[in-house]
Amino acid sequence: MLRQADASKGRQTLGVALAAGVGVAAAALVALGNPGNMGLCGACFLRDAAGALKLFIAGPAYLRPEIAGLVLGAFLAALLGKRFAARSGGFTAGRFVLCLWMAVAALVFLGCPFRMLQRLGGGDLHAWLGLPGFVFGVAVGRWFEARGYSAGKTAPAPAAVGLLGPAVMLGLLVLFLVGGVLAGPGVNDATPKPPHAPWGWALGVALICGAALSMTGFCAVSSVRQAFTAHRAMTWAALALIAGYGVTALVTGRAQWAWQPQPIAHGDALWNVLALALLGLTGALAGGCPVRQLVMAGEGNGDAFVGVCGLALGGALAHNFGLVSVAAGADAAGGPTAAGRAAVVAGLLVCAVYAFAVQRFLKQSPQPGA
């Protein structure tokens, strides 16, 4: 809908409208109790899931129904639309590592690219100041692609491979509903922390959003990628999502156009820019932002499911090794830790070297994954 340059104007307009609807839904989840400007966030919610599975020592622990909803919503939409196709066999290990670094970058910036769009709509000026870094990161990824880089082409795989993502998310959702198995608030637990919308609303809204994101093919990274081309339907969709979120946040009293205070954010401009550059680069090299990886996992892409696992592990490692930035508060400026800054620089170097090595390999031997 948003990816095909030859899609009709009507389908493109519908895709833009659906993206606006996803923005409205994300703002509604914030109004219902989710953290500020975090109605839907792939990296942060997978980090919370890692906490629920006790993969790190201290930090948020909550199996957010939204991640299951995104995957299962995409699965149902693909199934009903006869688009579900089990695929795998790209450069899977590379995607795993890239997604791990993506999670680290997200927790230094304090949000994945999808949350960045929500922060933009909610009036977070730190996100607007950091936006050029994200654009630059995606542009560097495109530069590598123009010189032969590829995330690796998938091939048809057994149905069991494609069903891994939906099956695992369904299993985690069942464990959450049973209660007493996973760490953090459960179905009948009214504990306010971490902040969360009522589970039924969270799951229902995410199911709808997952279906919409699957039908449109929307991705925050691709919205920037298309800005450099003649076909910009997804760029318009991103603007519509920002607007939909912003208007709803304004109506519900959650928007605040200011530097401070902003929910779960910090004001270190340099490291916001650099962390977003790493987010843009890893997203471009891995074939999509964290939310897009979740959606593709629901559509049967086994490599994307491996990427989702990399995101969850990256979030856990970021907490275990002190890489997560400190959010600004009333009496604290917040900002990245020394370890977080070092991780961003290391991530930029590792990803650039990896992209160059893959590009060089494919030029010399283009058979597998070219």
pLDDT in tens, 35-55: 999 999 999 999 999 999 999
| Contact yes or no for 111/298 (Cβ under 8 A) | no
Answering whether pTM is above 0.85, one says yes
Give the model's pLDDT for residue 366: 61
pLDDT of residue 330: 63
Q: What is the pLDDT of residue 332?
A: 75
Please tell me the number of Cα atoms within 13 Å of 325 on its side-chain side: 31
3-class DSSP assignment, residue 128: helix
pLDDT in tens, 292-347: 999 999 999 999 999 999 999 999 999 999 999 999 986 677 999 999 999 999 99
Q: Residue 125 in contact with residue 337, Cβ under 8 Å? A: no
Structure letter (DSSP) for residue 229:
S
**Which carries the bigger pLDDT value, residue 366 or residue 352?**
352
**Number of other residues whose CB lies within 10 A of the CB of residue 19:** 29
Question: What distance in Å separates the CA atoms of residue 96 and residue 261, rounded to the nearest whole number?
Answer: 35
pLDDT > 70: what percent of the chain? 98
CA distances to 76, 92, 170 from 265, rounded to whole Å, are 34, 32, 31
Going by the DSSP 8-state scheme, the letter that residue 312 receives in this structure is H
Instruction: Give the separation between CA 103 and CA 230, rounded to whole angstroms.
Output: 31
- The total of other beta-carbon atoms located within 10 Å of residue 4's CB is 13
For residues 93 and 74, give the distance between their C-alpha atoms in angstroms, rounded to a whole number.
24
Confidence of residue 369 (pLDDT cuts 50, 70, 90): very low
Q: Grade residue 232 by pLDDT with cuts at 50, 70 and 90.
A: very high
The pLDDT score that the predictor gives to residue 189 is 82
The predicted-structure confidence for 45-85, as pLDDT tens digits, reads as follows 999 999 999 999 889 999 999 999 999 999 999 999 999 99
* For residues 103-128, average pLDDT: 98
pLDDT for 191 equals 78
Radius of gyration of the chain (CA): 19
Token pair for 338: 């020394």
Residues 6+ apart with CB under 8 A from 200: none
**What b-and-e string marks burial along 220-244, b requiring 16 or more CB atoms within 10 Å of the CB?**
bbbbbbbeeeeebbbbbbbbbbbbb
Render pLDDT for 173-189 as a digit per residue (tens, 0 to 9): 999 999 889 999 999 88
How big is the CA angle at 171 (ends 116 and 73), to the nearest 5 degrees? 50
Phi/psi of residue 5, each to 5°?
A: -65, -25
Contact predicate 299/83, CB 8 Å:
yes
The pLDDT value given to residue 370: 41
Q: Which two tokens stand for residue 81?
A: 């639309």
The pLDDT, as a whole number, for residue 300 is 98
Give the mean model confidence (pLDDT) for residues 236-241.
98
Distance CA 129, CA 307 (A): 28
Average pLDDT, the chain: 95
d(CA 183, CA 53): 7
